[in-house]
Structure formats: structure tokens, C-alpha cells
Structure 1
Amino acid sequence: MTQLRALKFGPIPWQTLTCFLPSFPTCCFQLSLYLGKRDYVDNVDSVESVGEWDCAQLYVTLTCAFRYGRDDLDVIGLTFRKDIYVLTTQLYPPVPDQAPKTLTPLQEKLMKKLGENAYPFTFEIATNLPCSITLQPGPDDVGKACGVDFEVKGFCAENLEEKIHKRNSVRLIIRKVQFAPLQTGPAPKAETTRQFMMSDKPLHLEASLDREIYYHGEPINVTVNINNTTNKVVKKIKISVDQITDVVLYSLDKYTKTVCTEEINETVAANSTFSKTYSLTPLLSLNRQKRGLALDGKLKHEDTNLASTTILRPGMDKEVLGILVSYKVKVNLVVSRGGDVGVEMPVILMHPKPDDCELFVGCCQKSGGKRRFCFRGSW
């Protein structure tokens, strides 16, 4: 018999599992998983937890997995899921000669509440792992969405070689996120000059942004400068923001999705100049039906946003990241009897870095960027 329920423990998300194991038919156990929060910062946070047990061995794992394909394909042997990173620790019985642990305020409170059979532990996540990304499924898609996700799982077993059934384990999905760096580069700028037949002088287009990094939900300000010394007329200006998704694991698929676009019926006459700033705001709410759009990792019953730009650090293996996301702003001029004239500029779309007190849900004071969990088992 298995009962699985997801509940709330104050501000802390948690999940409880009650079941009978075949190897212990007369025993029933309960395993609860508590998290201090769902979102963890790239290269800043670590993972802490607490648990108890009376029989066999209790393990907890942290897994980063990449999925690219449909669940039904796994049945015929075409596995499109790969574990990029797996970290396992034995929670009970305690490993001999283990160094004493320094408890965080949240762990101390949970251990007092859960009783004397609670055992704390900590995960240190490896550097250069990918951030959580979900590819938006189509209306008819079923099963798990493609992308990169992180999972924390607790289970009881005689050893790690046993096959762990979903009914006998408790799991919660977490997100690994990246915040915008404090140091930013110069504002992007691009220009081009186009010479037309039957015209002695060229058309010059210059486009620029007011900064390199924009936060989700902020308008992107695009300044367009046109110096039209030709005898042709610019009939329309098109500005768009494109998301480029590179799938670098399993395949070399590349998708470009327009997430925001605007067409301005501005006319620039021959032998004249033009300058104006436009604002565009790329939002997920305007792109709900676009299959394959990259989103920040989605948690159950929670909304998300467009995926943040992937920031590559020196020495990072692109293939391990699974999916790379970038954005660009395109400015195109529609010229009478002359085709289009356009430029492109890279733009970074990310979340701002919040204060420490905002990051660590369930903790009453700053604690240096720690991830917190709690396991509880009782017979």
C-alpha cells in the first residue's frame, strides 16, 4: 500500500510517503522530504537535510538529468534521458569517521521538531552544471517535458544496487538558477551601410540598446538611427527579439523562435534622416502556444518565464550543459524596390540577484547561501 501526498510545512515545501516494503512485510515506514526552498543559485548554494531510520539503509540522491525525446520512445529502447550528474549519500546508519556537521538555523529547528532520530546531511553541487530548463510542450504532447531538471530523492534499500521503485521513494524537483552578474559589458550596438543600384549614395542604419542585460519583464529599449542619402524610401521598420536554443547533447538541433515583434509604419523619405527609440517586452504570456520554446525550469503548479540566457564560464563543457539559450534583437528596414536592410544585436535576459534574505525561504537570518532539506522516517 502506498500513499503519496504533497503538503506545506509553514513556508517549507515538503512531501510524505507511506508504504510497505516486500522485504519487511510487517513494517510500515514514513519518509518525509522538506526543502527550505525550490530555487538554488548557480555556484553559490549547497544542499542540507535531515533524516531518520530504523531498518535497512536510508539514502538520498541529487540528480541532474537531461531529457530530449518522448516517454513512449523509451519503451522501445530509444532512451533519450541521460543523468548528467548524480550525487548519493548514505543517511542511515551514519557513515563511520564522518566529520561533524555544522547545522544551519533551519536544520536546528527541524531537528528539534522531528525528534532525536533526525540525521542532517549536506550536498555540495559540482561547478559548471547546467541550469534548469524546460522546452515548452505542444498542445498534444504528453509525458515529461524535454529539458534539464534537478531532483532530490530519498529511499530505503539494502544496498544501492537494488532497483528503486517510485512507490518506495519520495522525490521533489528543485531548480538551479543563474542571476545576472554585477559586472556588465558595454551596451550592444550594430550598424550597416547598403548601396543600391541606380543610387549614388548609400543608406546607413545604426541600432543600439541602452544596456547589455535586461531582466525578465523589463522593456528592451532599441534606438534606431537612419541616414537615408539614397533616392529610395524606407516604408517600414521591423524590430523583433528572437530566442535561440541550441541542443548540444544527443543532437545538434538549433531552434530560433521570435518571442516579441513590432512593425512600425514609419516612412523615411529619400535624402533624409530619422532617429527614434522603441520599447519591446518579451513575455511568456504572449508565447504560450509555441512548441519548443525554452523556459526556466518549471515546477508543478507554478508558472515560469522565458529561459534565462546561458552564461558560459571559461573551461565549461558545452555538451554537459545540454541546452544553450541566447537572445538577439533584430532591426530590419523595408525599402521600396530595394529589399530589406537589417542588423542584429545580442541581448542578455536574466533575473536580478535578490538580497540574501529573499533567497533563503524558511530561514530567519542570513546563512551564506545554503540549500536546506529535511528527511523524516518513522516506523
Structure 2
Amino acid sequence: MSPKHVIYKKLSRDKSVGIYMGRRDFVDHCDSIDPVDGVVLLDPQQIKGKKVYVMLSCTFRYGRDDADILGWAFRRDIYVCTRQVYPPLQDLDRSIHTKLQERLLRKLGNNAYPFFFEFPDNLPCSVALQPAPTDEGKNCAVEFEVKAFCAENQDEKAHKRSSVRLAIRKVQYAPDKGGPPPSNETTCEFTVSDKPLHMRVALEKETYYHGEPISVSVDIDNSSSKDVKNLTLSVEQVTNVVLYSNDKYTKSVACEETTDLVPSGTSLKKVYTMYPLLQNNRERRGLALDGKLKHEDTNLASSSIVKAEVLKEILGILVSYRVVVRGTAAGMIGSSEVAVEVPFLLMHPKPVEVRTWTWCLRSSSAPISKVWSAMTTNPTRTREPLVISFPPHPVFAIQC
């Protein structure tokens, strides 16, 4: 059983050009980036001798298009690459295509032309800031899109009816190997106390997946003469808009105010569970979210992994996370805050590759119960739905 491919298709208003792509998410693996490939279908009668171009662009938007002030547009093009696909250039080798392009070219016919782009290493990932419920227009975001248009030359402004735009995303997944479990600690000494206060905070691992609970281990050894109270835990998202203003926003996406008290001369060892979820922060303006496609939901923005050789200033929006444990050390003479921060990564896991195994029961001498057991106990299967089909020949197929 061959897996079915999803094709994304969008046509211009006058049907002169259309874009066909097999995916809209492209992964930055740090050492390489998935290339952007697809096919443009054109109508020679509608084009009327004009050329057809395809453009890949990355735009940083920090205001509405109709809110220009003194001619200043609230958007900046981080990257733009335009290529002519029709008439095909002489140096374009049409014999080298991806498998998807080969299938589309066979299906769409002679008026279909392939396009191919490679991302440069220094582009940011798709990310957006959550608008307020009353905000209108497009929000602050780093956006990617593929555009096909008809024009006399690539610098000519194309008519909207003869152009088509398809939004895509550049994403990063959690690394295969994470670092050691992060931890941090602090020791506070007070002038009115002979002995110190020691606080240590640790996490189980460096990388957590979206929707996964975070276990926070708190260890407080209070040898001082002060009492520790008002113990609060929070998961903070730190968003740094580095492209135009270097603004930094710190917002709590999960918080727990405990009633735990650590009197003088005692200790506390406890594990707390935190849930940093977008569903609990829908009304909070300015939270960084993963870039989303139209009519789709999203989640809190993934942590930004910055390559060593890339300048941070051109990455648009950088996102990081940390767990912060705060407490108040109060005594006879005044009080002071004690705090410990532990950074971590919040990301998506790499999608599990879907594989298909096929057994022909007609040619197999094993009983069907043994074949079924072999399929259901395959160590590489995942929680994907079980797919069983019955073609004209007795064949079992299972997706894992």
C-alpha cells in the first residue's frame, strides 16, 4: 500500500497561474534546511506572452500595512529570491526534479513548470506575537511565502489578479540528543544570621515538548534565622525582538503560588508540576507563538536555536524559556527576595517517519495469528492509527 501524498494547490484570480506544493512546513535541521520545491501551472492564453516568476520571501512585520506613518511601512523584507520559470531559462536543467515534481509534471501536463529554492543559513523560523482580542489586521510576525506572478519583468509590480501567494513555515524540531538536566542554585547570607539559606532548583531534562508537564524539583535548606514564605514557581517566556528595536518581553505562561513555608532551621524537598500551555494564555497579548497557517491553531513559540555563525540581529524574534522559583526570606529586621532561574528548551519532537509493511498472506505459510502478532508487536510502530485494507488480493497493511 503506497502512502497518499497531500498536495497544496492555490490559483490566481484569473486562473493564469497556480502553485502546487507537497508540503508547507520546511525544517531547519541546523546543519541543513529542507529545500522548497513545487510546480507552477500556467494558462498560456491568460499569460499573453508575459513571463512567469516564482518568489520566495521572508518578511518581518511589526505593524499593519495600512498604518504607514510618513511613508514608513511597518514591514521589512529579510530575504527575497525571485526566479523565472516561464519561458524556462537555458541553464535550467528540467531533467533534475524531485519525486514530487516528477509526479506533478506527469499529471499536470506540458503547461507545468518546476521551481526550487534553498534557504540561506541565517533566516529565522516562523514566529508571531499574539494580538489582543480587539486588535485588527496582521500582527507582529516573521512570515514566509511563495508567490507566483505574471509580468514583463521581475521588477514590474504584478497585478493581484495575476498573482498567487501561498504561506509556508520554516520550523525547528528538538535536537536528537539533549544536554544534561539543567539546574541552578543560590546561597544567601544575611547580616543578622550566622548561617546561610541555600536553594537549589533542578529539572528532569533539558528539552520538553509542547503540552508535556514540567517537573520542577525544589530543595531549600534554611539554616538562617529567617523564614521562607510566599514560595512561587513560574515558567517564563522571554521574547527578544532583535531586528528593529531589541525590545525584550518577559511573560509568565504558567504560575503556581504555593502555601509552603520553610521556617528557620528547617528544609523543604518537593517536586512541583507546571503546564505551560497556550490554552491557558489565550487572552494574553504579546506572547510569542509558533507561526501558523490560515484557519489553523498553533502553540507557544518553540525555543530558538541560534547557530554560532549567525548574527542574532537578522533573526527577527528570538524566544527562550526558563523556570523561576521565588521566595521571601522574612525576619525580625526586614525581608529580601530569593530567586533561582533554570533555562530549558520547549520544542516539538521530530515527526516519526511513517513506514508501511506489507505481508501477502496468500504466499505465507505462517498462520494469520502469527502474522498479526508480528505486525502489532513491531518495535518501531507508533501511536498512529492502524490502517488495514483489503485489496483484490489478500494483503494486510499496517502503518507504523
1:321 lines up with 2:315 in the alignment = yes
State the alpha-carbon separation in 1 of the partners of residues 115 and 67 from structure 2. 37
How far the C-alpha of 1:339 sits from its partner, in A, is: 2.8
Q: Secondary structure at the match of 2:105?
A: helix
Q: Which residue of 1 aligns with 2:396?
A: none
Note if contact 2:208-2:347 (Cα within 8 Å) is conserved in structure 1: yes
2:7 pairs, out of 7, 12, 28, with: 12
Corresponding letter in the other structure for 1:44: I
Cα–Cα, structure 1 residues 91 and 303, in superposed 2: closer, same or farther, change >3 Å? same
1:34 lines up with 2:20 in the alignment = yes
1:340 pairs, out of 330, 337, 342, with: 337
Corresponding letter in the other structure for 1:238: T
How far the C-alpha of 1:244 sits from its partner, in A, is: 0.8
How far the C-alpha of 1:109 sits from its partner, in A, is: 2.2
State the alpha-carbon separation in 1 of the partners of residues 95 and 285 from structure 2. 46
Report the more deviating stretch, 97-106 or 121-130: 97-106
Note if contact 2:22-2:38 (Cα within 8 Å) is conserved in structure 1: no
Structure 1: which 5+ residue stretches go unaligned? 1-8, 20-28, 359-379
What RMSD over aligned residues (CA atoms) do the two structures have, in Å?
1.8
State the alpha-carbon separation in 2 of the partners of residues 125 and 288 from structure 1. 32
How far the C-alpha of 1:10 sits from its partner, in A, is: 7.4
- Report how many aligned residue pairs link the two structures: 341
Q: Which residue of 1 aligns with 2:258?
A: 264
2:105 pairs, out of 111, 115, 122, with: 111
Note if contact 2:20-2:40 (Cα within 8 Å) is conserved in structure 1: no
Corresponding letter in the other structure for 1:293: L
Q: Secondary structure at the match of 1:204?
A: strand
How far the C-alpha of 1:341 sits from its partner, in A, is: 1.0
How far the C-alpha of 1:156 sits from its partner, in A, is: 0.6
- Normalized per residue, the structure richer in strand is 1
- Deviation digits for residues 40-91 of structure 1 (CA, Å, limit 9, x no counterpart): 1013311112224423111110000111123333264121211111111111
Note if contact 1:101-1:120 (Cα within 8 Å) is conserved in structure 2: no
Cα–Cα, structure 1 residues 100 and 30, in superposed 2: closer, same or farther, change >3 Å? closer
State the alpha-carbon separation in 2 of the partners of residues 257 and 96 from structure 1. 54
1:182 lines up with 2:176 in the alignment = yes
2:50 pairs, out of 24, 44, 56, with: 56
1:351 lines up with 2:334 in the alignment = no
State the alpha-carbon separation in 2 of the partners of residues 315 and 325 from structure 1. 18
State the alpha-carbon separation in 1 of the partners of residues 205 and 95 from structure 2. 44
State the alpha-carbon separation in 1 of the partners of residues 16 and 86 from structure 2. 14
Q: Which residue of 2 aligns with 1:370?
A: none
Note if contact 1:188-1:346 (Cα within 8 Å) is conserved in structure 2: yes
How far the C-alpha of 1:166 sits from its partner, in A, is: 2.6
1:310 lines up with 2:304 in the alignment = yes
Report the more deviating stretch, 99-108 or 143-152: 99-108
Q: Runs of at least 4 residues of structure 1 off by over 6 A?
A: none
Q: Secondary structure at the match of 1:106?
A: helix
Structure 2: which 5+ residue stretches go unaligned? 356-400
Higher relative contact order (CA 8 A, sep 6+): 1
Calculate the TM-score normalised by the size of structure 1. 0.85
Q: Secondary structure at the match of 2:234?
A: strand
Q: Which residue of 2 aligns with 1:128?
A: 122
Q: Which residue of 1 aligns with 2:35?
A: 46
Report the more deviating stretch, 45-54 or 223-232: 45-54
